[in-house]
Amino acid sequence: MTVILSFVYLTILSFSMSGQAANLTSIEILNNCSYTIWAAANPGGGKQLNKGQTWTLTSVTSSGRIWGRTNCAFDDHGRGKCDSGDCGGLLECDRRNGRAPHTVAEYLMNQVESGNDAFFVSVVDGFNIPMEFTLSSSSSGVCGQSTSRCAGDINGPCPIELRDPGGCNNPCTVFRNSQFCCNTGSICEPTSYSKFFKDLCPEARTYPSDGTRGYCPNGRNSYKVVFCPSTASSTILPTPSNNGTNIDIMNICPYTVWAAAIPGGGRRLDKGQSWSISANPGTTQARIWARTNCNFDGSGRGRCETGDCGGVLECQGYGQPPNTLAEYALKQFADQDFIDISLVDGFNVPMEFSSTSAGCSRVLKCAADINGQCPNELRAPGGCNNPCTVKKSEEYCCNNGPCGPTELSKFFKDRCPDAYSYPQDDKTSLFTCPSGTDYKVVFCP
């Protein structure tokens, strides 16, 4: 099991302090995310928290950690598995730490600097969920810092080498060397990876020797840990070293989709979840789409009913029809971006592709019930096929020379006039924005 260095540091520190009797402290844990979190605490156990639900730890007297687990499935005996933060396959994590990546709230009660409480949010074990650790009330003293927070979008711009199906990993887990793990016993320095986390979450501890923390005089303080604090939605930030175009991808469908992007890879998005990617100027032939009814193993291999890209979670190639597409080319002729929604590969999920920058106001949408009204000859499991896939003829595939609309392409165009309905449907379907514009793609707008 990976040694969680910051927690070891806290434990050693707690034993080195005088044996003062700590006042009783409570910590309320709130899930403000739009999806279910399986909260975990060591010590404390674990509990499923749907949106808006809380769980309170009482009589907190020493040191510990709190984190959220995602995409869990447990049986009636409390045994199962989580995508991130898993603690040995158990719902009750008492005396067990979670598996990276996971954002952690850590604390020492009445044990630091003449009896102060110390508390902080840490991404030393990576990041999976935005989190805030704050003082909710105090009966004595003035706090040196009453809030520690990591509410930025770490998962979206996460460096490729740190990406994990459950979040954004810590470099120690990935590289396993002393530079990142700080396992030589001496003070270690920040690295380019810890600076990536620090730029997005300046109030969080980002490497084992990072001294960032909040502290309050102990006095029966009450604290609160919030998953997805209210500031999280407004702090989605790009990787600081990247000057490219930012594209936020959001799923508001009532079901899970597995978003895919070329370039970009892929990510599971439950209802309400988002993923941010960045693309460089000059990028061409880029696509974003949703995959449905997928099943992937721990190594990211599996299959999707629609939009499958070679049986992998992280797409390296285009998806299999039918799939609704958002397509773009950046910084092209006259410093323009070219964007479109395309049904040339069929339809599986309603989609919006729109600009989010002040200099452009494009909103492209295909939200009609195409699957329900799909012609019989184009019907496919999970979607509505494009006629080229089914008919395999020049009339529909436009492989050689000019081509025009067909009766089947008109079916798509009547329902989604903004979208490409056949390969040469440029006149009414291709749109531009000034280079440097940011965008969003919404599934089920």
| Per-residue confidence (pLDDT) for residue 75, from 0 to 100 | 85
> For position 217, what pLDDT does the model report?
67
Q: What is the pLDDT of residues 3-25, one digit of tens each?
A: 444 443 444 334 333 333 345 57
Mean pLDDT over the full length of the chain? 84
pLDDT of residue 55: 95
Q: Kindly give, in sequence order, each residue whose CB lies less than 8 Å from that of residue 419, ignoring residues fewer than 6 positions away.
A: 340, 341, 342, 343, 364, 366, 412, 413, 429
φ and ψ at residue 95, rounded to 5 degrees = 65, 15
Return the pLDDT at 139: 42
Confidence of residue 267 (pLDDT cuts 50, 70, 90): very high
Count of CB atoms situated within 10 Å of the CB of 209 = 17
pLDDT in tens, 144-194: 567 888 988 788 788 878 888 778 989 888 888 888 888 776 678 888 888
pLDDT tens across 83-133, in order? 889 999 999 997 889 999 999 999 888 766 666 788 899 999 999 999 999
C-beta atoms surrounding 229 within 10 Å: 22
Share of the chain above pLDDT 70, in %: 86
Give residue 102's pLDDT.
95
- pLDDT tens, position by position, 186-219: 678 888 888 899 988 998 999 888 876 666 766 5
The 10s digit of each residue's pLDDT in 318-368 is: 999 999 999 999 988 888 999 999 999 999 999 999 999 888 889 999 999
Q: State the Cα angle at 283 between 281 and 289, rounded to 5°.
A: 125
User: Residue 289: what pLDDT?
Assistant: 98
pLDDT for 219 equals 57
Closest CA relative to residue 374, chosen from 403, 427, 416: 416
| Residues 97, 87 contacting (CB under 8 angstroms) | yes
Q: Which residue has the higher pLDDT, 55 or 139?
A: 55
Single pTM value for the model: 0.50
Tokens 């309320």 map to which residue?
A: 28
pLDDT tens for residues 63-79?
899 999 998 888 888 89
Q: In which band, very low, low, confident or very high, does the pLDDT at 304 lie, cut at 50, 70 and 90? A: very high
Query: What is the reported pLDDT for 20?
Result: 38
Q: What pLDDT is stored for residue 143 in this prediction?
A: 62
How far apart CA 166 and CA 294 sit, in angstroms, is 16
Q: Which tops the pLDDT comparison, 392 or 412?
A: 412
Percent of the chain at pLDDT > 90 equals 47
Domains, the chain, ordered by start = 5-233 (2.60.110.10), 245-443 (2.60.110.10)
Higher pLDDT, 225 or 10: 225
pLDDT at site 114:
63
| Three-class DSSP labels, the chain | CCCCHHHHHHHHHHHHCCCCCCCCEEEEEEECCCCCEEEEEECCEEEEECCCCEEEEEEECCEEEEEEEECCEECCCCEEECCECCCCCECCCCCCCCCCCCCEEEEEEEEECCCEEEEEEECCCCECCCEEEEEEECCCCCCCECEEEECCCCCCCCCHHHEECCEECCHHHHHCCHHHHCCCCCCCCCCHHHHHHHHHCCCCECCCCCCCCEEEECCCCEEEEEECCCCHHHCCCCCCCCCCEEEEEEECCCCCEEEEEECCEEEEECCCCEEEEEECCCCCCEEEEEEECCEECCCCEEECCECCCCCECCCCCCCCCCCCEEEEECCCHHHEEEEEEECCCCECCCEEEEECCCCCCCEEEECCCHHHHCCHHHEECCEECCHHHHHCCHHHHCCCCCCCCCHHHHHHHHHCCCCECCCCCCCCCCEEEECCCCEEEEECC
